[in-house]
Structure 1
Amino acid sequence: MFTKSVEVLDTTLRDGAQTANISFTLNDKIRIALLLDELGINYIEGGWPGSNPKDEEFFKEIKKYSLIKAKVAAFGSTRRKEFPAKEDPSLNAIVKSDVEVAVLFGKSWTLHVTDVLKIGLKENLDLVYDSISYLKSHGLKVIFDAEHFYQGYKEDKDYALSVLKTAEDAGADVLVLADTNGGSLPHEVYTITADVVKNVKTKVGLHMHNDSGCAVANTLMGVLAGARHVQGTINGIGERTGNADLIQIIPNLALKMGFEVLRGKESLKRLKEVSRIVYEIAGLHPNPYQPYVGDFAFTHKAGVHADAVMKVSRAYEHIDPSLVGNTRRFVISEVSGSSNLITYLENVGIRVDKKDPKLRSALAKIKELENRGYSFDLAPASAILIALKELGLYQPLIKVDYWKVINERELAIAVVKVNGQLEVAEGVGPVHAVDIAMRKALQKVYPEIGKVKLTDYRVILPGEIKNTESVVRVTIEFTDNEKTWRTEGVSTSVIEASVMALIEGLDYYLQLNNKKLKVPEVNN
């Protein structure tokens, strides 16, 4: 096992902010920076002072906060060819930002030197040396990002290495190898990084982009080759297809490769929380399939998988989900076995014998309904209601005698007769109107219904089901401020499907809160 540590630089606020359709406000940047500091990130790249007023303001504002561990870094480029270092606007903007750390990028690919900067190869080395020396003379720690290093190395190894050695001679504290266009593959990264580590004395770092889908793998291979500084963003946001995802890199380094990262195990437990908050601030939906922290990362659907995991968790789980702040979930579907359904029932306090034929009957009913357009992995509460009915545990608490909705222009009126009670309500839409009318009728007998709120409403068109008419699937999420649940309705009518999901959601709440619910005892 390795005992050495790897330091982490987060560039969510700079490279991540360059993601298409993402725009952080100043308050967003401060909030994310404080979150990263709490997580234990070593360096937070706050932005590029001199490129825009918001980044300049960030460096002023973050000074008002006492960070626990992280050092805030300012980003910039080597000096322009027409300016000496002491007069270069970009370098002086970094100095004026009053940070302890500068991240400076320079060209290491001859193509960029001759065809983009349009200068000589020796002149580019002078830009690198002068810029780093100037920042070091102001007492800054300098992390040098060798832009397009892997591409440059493959075309002109000697020149790419000369750029690094020039940065080293100028006093750079870290030499970062950047796969800027994301085109390198893991075996190339390992070979090239290992050669760099042998040829320089300074700490080597990595900055990977995900254009070939290898950013995380490339980072890990670079560390195996000897790099001890990694850069990336939370959730892998960034230019084009994104940067290396620190949410994946960090647990791989700590749990799989034995490196000391961040603040140890306690930091790892916050990864899911940090991932979710950054998604929220960025205005993005969390990726449920994201490794380690996604809602489905430890979700088991196939019956064989669920049964095995219940017996031995590592049979289908590469780590304990709690190590990264996640949880294990089981879903019910047409490919599920009885183990999935048993787990759901146990979660609501109902224990059932796995050999009970009624359980098999419930599972058969669930699979039949999935064949007709339901998706119980999205709405497990509806599946639990089916199981309660098949197991003989269900109590008829809601009897819908009649419902009708008048929906014209901006007018939505619902008329319902529930448990013999006739009620009329007006809402902002047909579902809202039915919800109000149902509650008015039910609260006369079940006042606790007043605690239940609708928190999400989704309509999905799964298409034609078994040569029948096209159907609509409606999923509604509810909460009573203590727990949440989702139910589902399927029909050729979106309003009817909505009413079905609504009724089941209220029914589920009443069933589980029904004191008359007789839970069977199971012999171990």
Structure 2
Amino acid sequence: MISDQMRNTQATKTAVNRHGGMQQGSVTKYRAFPPIELPERQWPSRSITTAPTWCSVDLRDGNQALPIPMSVEEKLKLFDLLVSVGFKEIEVGFPSASQIEFDFIRRLVDENRIPDDVTVQVITQAREDLIRRTFESIQGMKKVIIHLYNSTSPAQRRLVFGLDKAGIIDIATRGTQLIKDLVPTIPETQVIFQYSPESFALTEIDFSLEICEAVVDIWQPTPEAKIILNLPETVQIATPNIYADQIEWFCRHMRHRESAIISLHTHNDRGTGVATTELGLMAGAERVEGTLFGNGERTGNVDIITVALNMYMQGINPLLNFGDIDAIRAVYEECTRMQVPVRHPYSGELVFTAFSGSHQDAIQKGMAAWDGAPDAVWEVPYLPIDPKDIGRTYEAIIRINSQSGKGGVAYVMENEFGFQLPKAMRVEFGKIINAIADVRGDELTPQQIYDAFEHEYLQRTSPFSLEAFHAEKAGASSPDEVVCRARVILNGELYELSGSGNGPIDAFVRALNQASLANFTVRSYTEHSLNHGSDARAVAYLQIETPSGRTFFGAAIATNIEQASIKAVLNAVNRVQATMG
């Protein structure tokens, strides 16, 4: 007989075969991108030491990727955010693509919304009608980058345009010449020209150089008035080192390199957009185009926040301020209707959170050791940067579920509520919290952890409760001895006790044991203040051991430390009684 599991497996295979599925055996459907011939490449031994020029393309590339494109008002709000973060170059749209794009750009100009130290960028394909419409949109700007592009890859040449290399070069050079001819029609505007061979990473490297140099020959840039050559990895097709080789090869072989700014524009199809950008900078690029949180077509553009904060955690000023990452994320999500994943680098809700017990313990110890001085080196395990630097708080660093350990529980109790649990008590309470989390099956909030602590250690009022306690020195004949008198209720019956010992706790324990109401010894005792001032309270932690060798902690809070310690004794004894009952 065929089992249900086998039937389901066969049905799945049939469905996969019917609808396609991955090629098995030798994969002939795809070809590896050929490596670049680059003897003695230099980029592997270089480091990033300074921030590049950043250009946000959120308002164009990011906007095009949205199921519901942003309205003019949403684009204005996002533009203001980008300015506040510190972007000095912002691509504001494709003015010939739609009326909304055009109207947005006109709002920026007509309402004088572009700061003097910010240069906006507009993009256009290499078509005459689109170029002329673009010039209409930028009338009155003080400074603008005009970004011209056309596609150059073999597949695009063959399948989309039906042109040879010469025909593709002609598209680029005619577009460049038209822009150059139109620049005098806007004499009040400083124009910077940017050209992109749009499918650079998929194009033969020598042809990419050929078409870019043809454009440079027409534009005639100088070291004082440079052209921007944007070399996109519009679709990722190889490992990041291949793109770095392409960039270094291009920079090595380009004529008039001193008159060009080499710019990167990487996507994330292979999930390596950040790595590709970083290696491209090591290979000689000086400028990066990208988006907040990596929003963009398909799997997205490079995430500028991640690249910038990667630099920051290496001790490099990224020249962008992400000091309130939560506010930035809120505006981004409002304007784009996209959500930042909880595990997104630096920005996600859970990236500064540790659930693992060993991680929690290491974080707690690292936080305790770091002195917080402005010049102190950050060395907290598992946290690559100080969350405070980007506006996050320490409160959510450690959160507790069934995977958590004693270190995380202790961290929450100390940082949220001020309790400095003794080491052995951390183990005991950690097991209690794990058991609760196992039953619940989800995360415990700090308040739930405190409630469990209060229930387990502070509110043990039966079978013992304390009605009165008084202790005093025994007298001159025994200066180190303390005598106590106590009134204790056990199961509703009042007992008057007395005892002596080397302190109030010892005297009280002896009184209980001598009255045969309990039988235990004290293993450890600690105390500390919970707050300061006239209403300061103290907390006492006490561990007892029964004749069988079992240990139990008790804790208590009071404005008088003596009262707290005596109540902690009874709370510990009550926990013993609870296990026996």
TM-score (norm: length of structure 1): 0.69
Partner of 1:93: 133
Counterpart of 1:262, as a letter, is L
Query: Alignment partner of 1:187: what SS?
Result: helix
Q: How does 1:103-114 map to 2 (within 5 A)?
A: 103-114=147-158
1:72 maps to 2:120: yes
Please tell me whether residue 47 in structure 1 is matched to residue 104 in structure 2: no
Residue pairs, 1:193-208, within 5 angstroms:
193-200=247-254, 201=257, 202-208=260-266
What is the identity, as a one-letter code, of the residue corresponding to 1:128?
Answer: A
Letter in 2 for 1:520: V
Contact 1:247–1:275 (CA under 8 A) maintained in structure 2: no
State how far apart, in whole Å, the 2-side matches of 1:189 and 1:13 are.
Answer: 26
Structure 1 residues 25 and 254: alpha-carbon distance in aligned structure 2, compared to 1, 3 A threshold? same
Using the TM superposition, give the Cα deviation of residue 135 of structure 1 relative to its aligned residue in structure 2, in angstroms. Answer: 2.2
Q: Higher mean Cα deviation, 365-374 or 217-226?
A: 365-374
**Taking structure 1 as reference, are residues 112 and 91 closer, same or farther at Cα in structure 2, changes over 3 Å only?**
same
One-letter amino acid matched to 2:274: V
Give the whole-Å Cα distance in 2 for the aligned partners of 1:341 and 1:199.
59
Per-residue deviation, 1:3: 5.0
Q: Structure 2: how far apart are the matches of 1:3 and 1:322?
A: 24
* Equivalent AA in structure 2 for residue 126 of structure 1: D
Question: Closer, same or farther in 2 for the Cα pair 1:284/1:107, shift >3 Å?
Answer: closer
Aligned equivalents of 1:394, 1:269: Cα separation in 2: 46
8 Å CA contact 1:174–1:204 kept in 2: the answer is: yes
Which residue of the other structure, out of 203, 223, 229, is the alignment partner of 1:175? 229
Q: 1:322 offset after TM fit, Å?
A: 2.5
Across the two proteins, how many residue pairs are aligned to each other? 388
CA deviation after TM superposition for structure 1 residue 62, in Å: 1.3
The offset of 1:10, in angstroms, is: 0.8
Q: Would you say the 8 A contact 1:42–1:71 is kept in 2?
A: yes
Q: Which residue of 2 aligns with 1:239?
A: 297
Q: CA deviation at 1:231?
A: 0.8
Deviation at 1:182, TM superposition (A): 2.4
Q: Distance in 2 between matches of 1:394 and 1:220?
A: 59
The structural deviation recorded for 1:66 is: 4.1
Deviates more, 1:95-104 or 1:17-26: 17-26
Distance 1:15 1:3, change over 3 A: same
Alignment correspondent of 2:382: 316
Letter in 1 for 2:196: D
Q: Give the Cα separation in 2 of the matches to 1:135 and 1:322.
A: 47
Runs of 5+ unmatched residues, structure 1: 80-87, 396-511
Seen in structure 2, the aligned counterparts of structure 1 residues 390 and 318 have a Cα distance that, compared at 3 Å, is: same
Counterparts of 1:287 and 1:26 in 2: how far apart (Å)? 26
The aligned runs of 1:60-459 (5 Å cut-off) are 60-63=106-109, 64=111, 65-67=113-115, 69-79=117-127, 88-98=128-138, 99=141, 100-137=144-181, 138=183, 139-153=190-204, 157-171=205-219, 173-200=227-254, 201=257, 202-256=260-314, 258=316, 261-263=318-320, 267-312=321-366, 313-328=379-394, 329-355=397-423, 357=425, 359-377=426-444, 379-392=445-458
Cα 1:522–1:351 shift into 2, 3 Å: farther
Amino acid at match of 2:206: D
C-alpha distance in 1 between matches for 2:108 and 2:341: 29
- Note the C-alpha offset of 1:57: 0.6
Find the residue that maps to 2:362 and give its secondary structure.
helix
Letter of the aligned partner of 2:452 in structure 1? I
CA shift for structure 1 position 102: 1.2
Work out whether residues 77 and 104 of structure 1, in 8 Å CA contact, stay in contact via their aligned partners in 2: yes
Distance 1:204 1:271, change over 3 A: farther
Measure how far apart 1:211 and its partner are: 0.9
User: Could you tell me how far 1:125 is from its partner in structure 2?
Assistant: 1.2
Distance of 1:66 and 1:355 partners within structure 2 = 58
> The residue matched to 1:520 in structure 2 has which SS?
strand
Provide Cα deviations, 1:3-55, integer angstroms capped at 9, x if missing partner.
54411111111111122434211111000011101111122111111111110
CA distance in 1, matches of 2:137, 2:298: 28
Equivalent-residue separation in structure 2 for 1:92 and 1:393 (angstroms): 78
How far is the alpha carbon of 1:310 from its aligned partner? 2.1
Superposition map of 1:15-54 within 5 A: 15-54=61-100
Taking the TM superposition and a 5 Å limit, the aligned residue runs for 1:480-499 are none
Distance 2:218 2:411 in 1: 62
SS of structure 2 residue aligned to 1:253:
helix
Answer whether contact 2:264 2:277 (CA < 8 A) is retained.
yes
- Structure 1 residues 365, 7: CA separation in 2 closer, same or farther (over 3 Å shift)? same
Amino acid at match of 1:249: V
Superposition TM-score, scaled by structure 2 size: 0.62
Q: CA deviation at 1:257?
A: 7.3
1:235 is displaced (CA, Å) by 0.9
Task: Determine the C-alpha separation between the residues in 2 that align with 1:310 and 1:168.
Answer: 57
- Of all paired residues, the percent bearing the same amino acid is 22
> 1:409-465, CA deviations, whole angstroms, 9 ceiling, x for partnerless residues?
xxxxxxxxxxxxxxxxxxxxxxxxxxxxxxxxxxxxxxxxxxxxxxxxxxxxxxxxx
Q: AA paired with 1:367?
A: N
Is the contact between residue 26 and residue 54 of structure 1 (CA under 8 Å) also seen in structure 2?
yes
Correspondence for 1:401: none
Distance 1:522 1:105 in 2: 71
2:269 touches 2:298 (CA, 8 Å); kept in 1?
yes
Distance 1:118 1:322, change over 3 A: same
Q: After TM superposition, give the deviation of residue 290 of structure 1 in Å.
A: 0.9
Q: Which moved more, 1:243-252 or 1:110-119?
A: 110-119
User: Equivalents in 2 of 1:185, 1:236: separation in Å?
Assistant: 19
Q: Provide closer, same or farther for how the CA distance between residues 189 and 256 of structure 1 changes in structure 2, counting only shifts above 3 A.
A: farther
